[in-house]
Amino acid sequence: MTDDTQPRRPPTLDEVLQEGPPLIEPQNDDDNDDAFTAGGPGCVIWSLVILMLGIISLMIVVMAGAAGWTQGQRVAQRTVSAAELYFVETQYPAIQTDVADLNYELLATRMAFLATRTPGVPQMDVLRATETAVYLNVTATSRSVINQQLTLIPQNLAEGDRPQAEQRLAFLATQTPGVAELPALQATATAYRTSPTTTPTPLQAAPTPTPPGGFDLPTLFTQAQQEFSIGAYADAYNTLDLIRRVDPNFNRTAVEALLHQVLIAQARPLYNVNLSADPSNPGTLAEAIRLTDLAEQYGSIDDLAYERDIATLYLNAITAIDAGNHDVAIRRLQVILTYQSTYKGADLNRLLFNEYVAYGDAWALEYNWCQAEQQYQQALTLFSDPSVSGKRNNARDLCQQGQTAPTTNPNLPPNETPVAPIGVPGT
């Protein structure tokens, strides 16, 4: 039996104390670091992660900025459009003033501005007709004055009244377009200017005093009365206007009384329009209102006051309809309906029905189904219509479901949001 196979005796206490406790080698920290490092993502991976997070953050910032800029552009565009619409609307009362004053130059400037607006300004055809009427009126008046001067210049030269002739020639030289007869008259005046001056003999009759401005105002007033009596109202107005321009105080009461009659006679038939075929075309109503306003400056307009007020309300309603301003159009039509249900053949209830439907459609484009339902319901109180009933029912269902605008609309271009037309609050 060897020493390995012999049972070993446990060490005694003295032996254990003598040898000491077993030594345990300390663990190397570097080995732990290597083991941890070998199991982690590493510096390169962490760098890539941080880089990707930075790129994503930058993209979020850029996209948010682009979205804000786009929204700001839309708001700015709507603000500019609203401001431009307000500026265009302010031209209407200014145009009425220009027409009343026969200020054709300023009127033409305003019309040229309105002609450049996009979309087109409502009632441009009516405004152009009024502009043409003013031009013809001014032209006729100017030509009448020119003809008077052409007649009086030879008389002044024959009577030796050269200063008066020179003044008339200077006036004709300022006219645009030029007066065709002016060169011949200027040559005649030059010949008189260079000829010896003759002294009248004591027995020569003194020249008759020239009426104010060289016009025979009593004769002109008689002419205006004759023109009025035969129904030549435009000619009578031009003649009376010439009298007032030459001498505003000449027989003032009689001149203004005749002017009042002439303007009433001109305005009354212009209210007789038929709107049954095309309610959106008011025809001569604008000119009738203008003439009535002028007539009121010289006396009572009696029954034409009501005609003018209703025509003004109707024109304002049609203007709002053409501009797509449904809310304003509805309110204006409701005012007229408090007086009458039809106007010159136009069914005002049908116009109001159409505006309620159009207003509902505008709200539907904004996905405001509750407001759309209210407008459709208002329309159905006027007339029964299956199509409108279907729109009302659909809007009611979507309103109860709380349906809102989808994130994308297939009917709109990319990156565009629906904008309600003019007249929808909040836009």
Identify the CATH number of the domain in which residue 299 sits: 1.25.40
Residue 201 has pLDDT above 50, yes or no: no
Query: Token pair of 298, please?
Result: 């010289």
Q: Which amino acid belongs to residue 222? A: T
Residue 302 has pLDDT above 70, yes or no: yes
Q: What is the mean pLDDT of residues 124-145?
A: 66
* 34 in a structural domain: no
pLDDT band at 4 (very low <50, low <70, confident <90, very high): low
Query: Token pair of 388, please?
Result: 């409108």
Contacts 24+ apart (CB under 8 A), 143-149: 144/238, 144/239, 144/242, 145/242, 146/172, 146/175, 146/179, 148/214, 148/215, 149/214
pLDDT of residue 49: 84
In the chain, what percentage of residues exceed pLDDT 90? 18
Q: What is the mean pLDDT of residues 37-66?
A: 79
Q: What is the mean pLDDT of residues 401-424?
A: 51
pLDDT band at 390 (very low <50, low <70, confident <90, very high): very high
Residue 235 has pLDDT above 70, yes or no: yes
Residue 245 has pLDDT above 90, yes or no: no
pLDDT of residue 333: 92
Please state whether the predicted TM-score (pTM) of the whole model is above 0.75.
no
Among the residue ranges 43-47, 103-107, 294-298, the one predicted with the least confidence is: 103-107
Q: What is the mean pLDDT of residues 156-181?
A: 70
**Each residue of 285-294: pLDDT tens digit?**
889 999 999 9
Residue 424 has pLDDT above 80, yes or no: no
* 395 in a structural domain: yes
pLDDT of residue 412: 43
Query: Token pair of 163, please?
Result: 């200063």
pLDDT of residue 77: 65
Among the residue ranges 72-81, 178-187, 303-312, the one predicted with the least confidence is: 72-81
Residue 410 has pLDDT above 60, yes or no: no
**Interatomic CA distance for residues 311 and 338, integer angstroms:** 14
pLDDT of residue 380: 92
Which domain does 297 fall in, by range?
285-408
* 149 in a structural domain: no
pLDDT of residue 95: 77
Query: Token pair of 414, please?
Result: 């990319």
* 84 in a structural domain: no
Q: What is the mean pLDDT of residues 248-271?
A: 91
Write the DSSP assignment of 258-322 as a string of letters. HHHHHHHHHHHHHT----SS-TT--TTHHHHHHHHHHHHTTS--TTHHHHHHHHHHHHHHHHHHH
* 278 in a structural domain: no
22 or 422, greater pLDDT: 22
* 244 in a structural domain: no
Phi-psi sector, 210: left (phi>0), alpha (psi -120 to 50), beta: beta
* 5 in a structural domain: no
Rounded mean pLDDT of the chain? 75
pLDDT of residue 120: 61
Domain count, the chain: 1
Cβ atoms of 391 and 369 within 8 Å: the answer is: no
The percent of the chain in helix, strand and coil, each rounded to the nearest 5, is: 65, 0, 30
Among the residue ranges 49-63, 92-106, 275-289, 349-363, the one predicted with the least confidence is: 92-106
* 421 in a structural domain: no
pLDDT of residue 377: 92
